[in-house]
Amino acid sequence: MVTPFGARLAAAVAERGPLCAGIDPHPGLLRAWGLTEDVAGLTRFAMTAVEALAGDVAVLKPQSAFFEAHGSAGVAVLERVVAESREAGALVLLDAKRGDIGSTMDAYAAAYLTEGSPLAADAVTVSPYLGFGALDPALSAAAANGRGVFVLAMTSNPEGGSVQRAVGADGRTVAQAVVDAAGERNAAELAEVGGELGSVGVVVGATVDPAAGLDLSRLRGPVLAPGLGAQGGTAEDLRRVFGPVLSQVLPTTSRDVLRHGPEVGQLRDQARRLAEELAAALS
């Protein structure tokens, strides 16, 4: 039987610390590194980040869109990032935010979560806003292949609130319904295979307002918390927002690490410092 993603994530965090480092080849960062805004620059940027981080960081999170922007050659670079990061021992969370229905969702699941696909990562981000049930192909493929899914729940962008904080007929916000559905999946997994952390995570911004009243107590899965560093989030925000479920939080940052490039040693040192700071903050 394959080892569930939740168990693998818990082991990686215990060994390497609670940091998810983004690999976001934003044009501005390419320029800051003195690189050209083309496939050559993309390749140098991405593979330098892998060299610096994949041997130390628990989770690497390449942002698919920045690779897709360069067409098929960019996607080929993304395939290298996934493969070489995993070979170096990092878990790879592909930030693709896919969400669709029927056979299209089946195809996304095959691309990102099925063994043998060149884009298959350890986990992928998905959007539930065509209905949580529409994610079944991804959730099933993840479970069968020991992989994970992180479902958008409550993001920190102001536009998200009109959907995520809308209240349904049962009195729950849409975001809470997403969290509860993820928790049901995790409860079923843990009842079957044991362990402490399920493989269905949610995405909750590190700077969201705790007054939104999101209850994560029954999630029993990881919480990806973007927004540290350049977006204004701090370790204190993590304590304020996540409180009792701090041990499940996987903070993620991109620019706070990547701005220290292009020197491999400086990138690695910054990631190590952040991982140590976060471990202290989340303990």
C-alpha 94 chain-centroid distance: 7
d(CA 165, CA 171): 11
C-alpha 34 chain-centroid distance: 28
d(CA 70, CA 49): 18
* Catalytic entry in 80, 86, 97, 255: 97
Q: Is residue 61 flagged as an active site residue?
A: no
d(CA 36, CA 98): 29
Residues marked as catalytic = 97
